[in-house]
A and B are shown apart, each in its own frame.
Chain A
Amino acid sequence: MAVRGAGRVRSEVLSKKLYCASSTPPPHARHFADNQCQSMESFFTRFKNVLVLVAILLAQTIGLAVQVRRPVESGAPDSSKVTLIRYWAVSVVSPFERFFHGIGYTFRHGWSNYVDLRHTRQENHDLQDQIARLRLEQASFAEDAMQGHRLQAMLDFQQHYVSTTVAAQVIGTSGNDLSRVIYIDKGSKDGLKTDQAVITPDGIVGKIRDVFPHTSQVLLINDQTSGAGVLLATTRIRAILRGSTTGQILINNLTPDNRIKPGEQVLSSGGDQVYPRGLAVGTIESIKIDPDHQPYTLIQLRPAANLNQLEEVLVITGTQTTLSAQAQKDLAAGVTTAEAQAAAKQIADQQAAEAAARSAAQIVADRLPSIHEGEDEAKPGTAAPPATTPPVSVVPKPLPTIHSDRYSPGATPSASDLKPGAAEPPNEKDLN
């Protein structure tokens, strides 16, 4: 080992001599040049480590300066050179991500579709009930929707509806909680482009930031560089949504307003040209004064989509100004259902009115004396006739009196039995 060390020193001295001799200075300056060369070399040798660190940091700082533009555009895609570096990195990592995701997906798919089928029948029944309920709800909204479309057409208002989507699986993340990014298994080969909105049935998720042939990078709405135009559902106030370093989604461009309350739903406004109007964004969770930007408020939202556990997402690849054929069909079905409901309700109301009229007539008939009094008494043993449409003209027989007096039916003798000037016959009560 010592011998090896001595050899290394010898070779270093030799290389130093060769290096210094290569400049071949004139004889009178050789001594000075030797000293200079040795001191320079000793400087580089002594500070080699620090110099390497400084060089690497400098190179990266220049790299940052080239990448970052001013003003900073939130979630803007990189330049082509940076994209190439990202493309290399994604090409290295994404095959492994796809592989492990595939294994996990196969296992979960097999388990949930073939093994874990308990309560499936009950769930199916519940879902059928839910569909029936939603159909009724859809019918109640359908007429308003149709009216809205008619008004929009009259005003020449351009509404954008989601026409085409691409379903994608989430295969990975950035692995860094300061950068909230996910990777999906669809890319430019599937028709995806940057700045397309990514959603779930629950609400918006983010937008596509970078597209590779078979993979795409999605910037989530809770990333600190994200932004979206939103609309408060009840108060119709427009605002700008931003992510934060802690992964919360915030609105911080509104001044205090008593109308804004926790629990209010927030929708996409469509003003950012990324997310179509009317998609669910989240619900207001808390409102407080922003300590950094007074007098503005800091409104914290609970996202509608579960951004921490995304499995499948939809990428909106196309919008159109009219409803899709399927949506129009659904709307028409809703209107038909609503009309059928209205007709059924009308018939039911009519029947109820008739029944009420019949019921009133019955009451009146029960309370008035009957003109067929003798008929019932003539047949004491016979059963009562069925209650089929009693004639309205029949006067009902009054109930027998408990304590009869001279005004009771039958207590007063017939006029033919009375004699003018004769005394009034005594009443039974008077006799008692």
Chain B
Amino acid sequence: MATRSFTSRRELEQHSFPPAVALLVPLGAILLQALLPRPFPRLAILDLPLIVTVFFAVSRRNPVAGTLTGAAIGLLQDALTAQPIGVNGMAKSVIGYIAASIGIQIDVENLTTRILINFGFFLMNSFLLFLINRRLLGLTNFHIYWGHELIRAAINTAVALPIFFLLDNAKRRE
């Protein structure tokens, strides 16, 4: 019988996903994000693409894959907005990278950890968007209300938890 030996935590818990899941889940998230606010305007507060980005990044535990996933999802999201293409792409690239890097270090299966990382990443996303719009694009009238961003982070964290549990079923150990 062959003996299994693992050299790192990353190798122990690195997951991959079937190509259909890896492609359709981000597309579905972007599509839902575009469709839901029309009948339910208050659902514009959600950021389903960011939830998916964080999930794939922490599950794959590969910073390069996390960066590329974040960039692809962000760019596609930008293409549907009136903003310059790259605003969400840059923010989600950074978040994908950091989420994958954190995923190597800590146990991201834990519920408390998931709550904390989701909340933290949503605030970080708002901060990155503020930086990109205000400093990089020079939009001086771009304002962010941090109270609103805290509420947004809390709501998205609450939505992210069941989505994470749902997507856990699609994981495939390498």
B94 sits at the interface (CB 8 A): yes
Given A53-B93, A61-B136, A309-B41: A223 and B7 interface contact (C-beta under 8 Å): no
**In the assembly, what is the distance between CA of A370 and CA of B5, in Å?**
135
A264 sits at the interface (CB 8 A): no
**In the assembly, what is the distance between CA of A182 and CA of B41, in Å?**
12
Tell me which of A56, A104, A171 contacts B68 (CB under 8 A).
A56
Tell me which of B68, B85, B148 contacts A63 (CB under 8 A).
B85
Q: List A residues 189-232 near B (Cβ within 8 Å).
A: 209, 217, 219, 223-225
A176 touching B88, Cβ below 8 Å? yes
Binary flags per residue of B69-82, CB closer than 8 Å to A gives 1, else 0: 00100011101111
B113 sits at the interface (CB 8 A): no
Interface hit among B13-21, B27-35, B114-122, B161-169:
B27-35
A96 sits at the interface (CB 8 A): yes
Tell me which of A61, A64, A176 contacts B44 (CB under 8 A).
A176
**In the assembly, what is the distance between CA of A181 and CA of B37, in Å?**
11
Tell me the smallest distance from the CB of A101 to a CB of chain B, in Å.
8
A176 touching B79, Cβ below 8 Å? no
**In the assembly, what is the distance between CA of A290 and CA of B93, in Å?**
36
- Which A-chain residue is minimally distant from B4 (CB atoms)? A1
Q: What total of chain B residues lie within 8 Å of the partner, measured CB to CB?
A: 56
A282 sits at the interface (CB 8 A): no
Tell me the smallest distance from the CB of A111 to a CB of chain B, in Å.
14
- Which A-chain residue is minimally distant from B141 (CB atoms)? A224
**In the assembly, what is the distance between CA of A225 and CA of B81, in Å?**
12
Tell me which of A5, A175, A309 contacts B30 (CB under 8 A).
A175
- Which B-chain residue is minimally distant from A252 (CB atoms)? B141
A92 sits at the interface (CB 8 A): yes
**In the assembly, what is the distance between CA of A289 and CA of B39, in Å?**
35
B83 touching A88, Cβ below 8 Å? no
Kindly count the residue-residue contacts between A and B in the assembled complex, taking CB atoms under 8 Å apart: 156
A56 touching B35, Cβ below 8 Å? no
A93 touching B44, Cβ below 8 Å? no
Most buried by A among B41, B85, B88: B85
A82 sits at the interface (CB 8 A): yes
Binary flags per residue of A227-263, CB closer than 8 Å to B gives 1, else 0: 0000000000000001011100000000000000000
Residues in A neighbouring B90, C-beta threshold 8 A: 57, 60-61, 64
Q: List B residues 49-94 near A (Cβ within 8 Å).
A: 49, 63-64, 67-68, 71, 75-77, 79-90, 93-94
Q: From DSSP, what is the main secondary structure of chain B's interface residues?
A: helix
Given A176-B44, A246-B145: A49 and B63 interface contact (C-beta under 8 Å): yes
Interface size grouping (class) on chain A: 35 or more
- Which A-chain residue is minimally distant from B88 (CB atoms)? A176
B34 touching A173, Cβ below 8 Å? yes
A175 touching B37, Cβ below 8 Å? yes
**In the assembly, what is the distance between CA of A53 and CA of B94, in Å?**
7
A64 touching B38, Cβ below 8 Å? no
**In the assembly, what is the distance between CA of A88 and CA of B148, in Å?**
33
Binary flags per residue of B123-145, CB closer than 8 Å to A gives 1, else 0: 00000010001001111011111
Most buried by A among B33, B38, B83, B129: B38
A57 touching B41, Cβ below 8 Å? no
Most buried by A among B81, B136, B145: B81
B2 sits at the interface (CB 8 A): yes
A60 touching B31, Cβ below 8 Å? no
Residues in A neighbouring B80, C-beta threshold 8 A: 86, 89-90, 93, 174-176, 181
Tell me which of A56, A179, A246 contacts B71 (CB under 8 A).
A56
Residues in B neighbouring A75, C-beta threshold 8 A: 82
- Which B-chain residue is minimally distant from A177 (CB atoms)? B44
Residues in A neighbouring B31, C-beta threshold 8 A: 93, 96-97
B112 sits at the interface (CB 8 A): no
B82 touching A89, Cβ below 8 Å? no
Most buried by A among B63, B87, B90, B145: B90
**In the assembly, what is the distance between CA of A64 and CA of B93, in Å?**
15
Residues of A participating in the B interface, judged by any CB pair closer than 8 Å:
1-2, 5, 48-49, 52-53, 56-57, 60-61, 63-64, 67-68, 72, 75, 82, 85-86, 88-90, 92-93, 96-97, 100-101, 104, 170-183, 209, 217, 219, 223-225, 242, 244-246, 308-310
Q: List 26 A-B contacts (CB under 8 A).
A: A1-B2, A1-B4, A1-B5, A48-B64, A49-B101, A61-B136, A63-B86, A67-B85, A72-B138, A82-B84, A88-B79, A90-B80, A92-B76, A93-B80, A97-B34, A104-B39, A173-B38, A174-B34, A174-B82, A175-B34, A178-B81, A178-B129, A179-B81, A183-B34, A223-B82, A245-B144
Question: Apart from A63-B84, A174-B81, what are 4 other A-B pairs with CB-CB below 8 Å?
Answer: A52-B64, A64-B137, A90-B80, A92-B27
